[in-house]
Amino acid sequence: MANTPEITGPISQEDIEAAEKFKNEANEYFKKQNYNSAIEYYSKAIEKNPNNAVFYANRSIANLRLENFGYALIDASKAIELDKCYTKAYYRRAAAHMSLGKYKLALKDFEYVTKVRPNDQDAKKKYNECNKIALKIAFEKAISVDKKEVNIADSINLDAMTIEDEYEGPEMEDGKVTLKFVTELMEFYKQQKKLHKKYAYKILIDVKAYLQKQPSLVDIKVPDEAKFTVCGDIHGQYYDLMNIFKLNGLPSETNPFLFNGDFVDRGSFSVECIFTLFSFKLLFPNHFFMSRGNHETLDMNRMYGFRGEVTSKYTSQMADLFTEVYNWLPLAHCINGRVLVMHGGLFSKDDVTLDDIRRVDRNKQPPEDGIMCELLWSDPQPMAGRAPSRRGVGCQFGPDVTAAFCDRNGLDYIIRSHEVKNDGYEVAHDGKCITVFSAPNYCDTMGNLGAFITMNGKDLTPKFTTYEAVPHPDVKPMAYANSFFSLLCQ
């Protein structure tokens, strides 16, 4: 995002007209869901005429679509500074606050609009809805404090759950996940059918018990001649996940995988994705790995659909259990001591070591700063040094930061995910920072390819396989997302 230009004098009519032209071009890109180009042209409009609040508000919504919540917040605030009665700018800022879990700040924006426009029924409605959400979350937090000793996994009575005679789906054998179970489950899900709740709960309880014994940084040993695959974000795109397995083979002891976070949210088949992945984790615990992403968190799941999807397909109790399980997902993996894989990126401090990651107490919701937060949220930048994150969480780190981190920790390079890339992957920072993103045509709108990385244990040279999105049933992305949030982002 371009910096806000300094206003040095009166703006010419020529610049005002040029700015309008850039804005109109940006609007066309926005309609085509090409948000990066839209941002570029809104920025050009701002350079020509930095006094127009609409340009900032429009760039704010484009940044929201790209999950650049920090930049969206800055732009909305600038629009408000220029026009204190500009309702849409308050809505944009509220959406950015809500995306960052700052519900009280979002509420303040709506409260202000209702004061300056007391007859605006739409503003009043949004205020009331936001207030409901804030009160509900405050209530949930109060309950969680009161019940923090309660272990949901231990409170589930599987024996009391009966398998009905009419259930025709996959079944565990002696309470265990088998290859037959997973194979049948994947086909069952393709037909849009639902796994029995008894097996669903059993998977979650067993996965949690396994993950609790794992360190925050898992070391993976890949033999010299063995193949290893790393996948990025899946985001509930179940049919694209199936395509990965079609292209690369099913996970097995001779075909190990690492899925690098953001298995859920956005896409509306997140339940199917996560139970398939967790089943493979139980089937091949030493050859199938899963890192936590920033969307394996409560605030993200509330806003972007996973919690709503689980509650719709099962129960709110199961949604709470997922939160409990996600808290135990490892934060990073190190392949043969030479390649570090994490969802987000590197750190705001220079002296972080692999041992520091190993020592992180991960059984919690991510804090707003520090190692755990940055592993889940940070992004690379082409410039040297560091910068505040455009997302409003984590940091941005340059090639010098990556090189120094790799040197300090004896690494060849790092792999991370977290960002849509047109080709499904990007090699940056002189080959030392690789991004892989495995959800093609993200949210049915971005038009990007998906990708996964394969390597052998000897030289660990990354090879990239890219692929297009495959058809899926007519269930739109964000179908289970918080409807109020969707309303704000119109």
**For 105-124, how does the pLDDT look when each residue is reduced to its tens digit (9 = 90+)?**
988 998 888 888 888 887 78
**What domains are there in the chain, each with its CATH number?**
13-144 (1.25.40.10), 154-485 (3.60.21.10)
Question: Residue 8 pLDDT more than 60?
Answer: no
Mean pLDDT of the chain: 93
Beta 339-342 vs 413-416: how paired, if at all?
parallel
Q: Which of 97, 287, 295, 472 is catalytic?
A: 295
Mean pLDDT score, 70-93: 94
Q: Cα-flanking dihedrals φ and ψ of residue 220, to 5°?
A: -115, 130
Reference 76, options 48, 108, 34; nearest CA is 108
- The contacts of residue 195 (CB under 8 Å, 6+ apart) are 169, 170, 185, 188, 189, 275
- Examine the residue annotation and report whether 333 is marked as an active-site residue of this protein: no
- Cα 313 from Cα 224, distance rounded (Å): 43
- Cα 293 from Cα 362, distance rounded (Å): 12
Is 420:65 a contact under the CB 8 Å cutoff?
Answer: no
- 10 or 248: whose pLDDT is higher? 248
Confidence of residue 318 (pLDDT cuts 50, 70, 90): very high
Question: Residue 486 pLDDT more than 70?
Answer: no
Return the pLDDT at 166: 94
**For 205-260, how does the pLDDT look when each residue is reduced to its tens digit (9 = 90+)?**
999 999 999 999 999 999 999 999 999 999 999 999 999 999 999 999 999 999 99
Confidence of residue 131 (pLDDT cuts 50, 70, 90): confident
**For 334-343, how does the pLDDT look when each residue is reduced to its tens digit (9 = 90+)?**
999 999 999 9
Reference 386, options 426, 338, 419, 345; nearest CA is 345
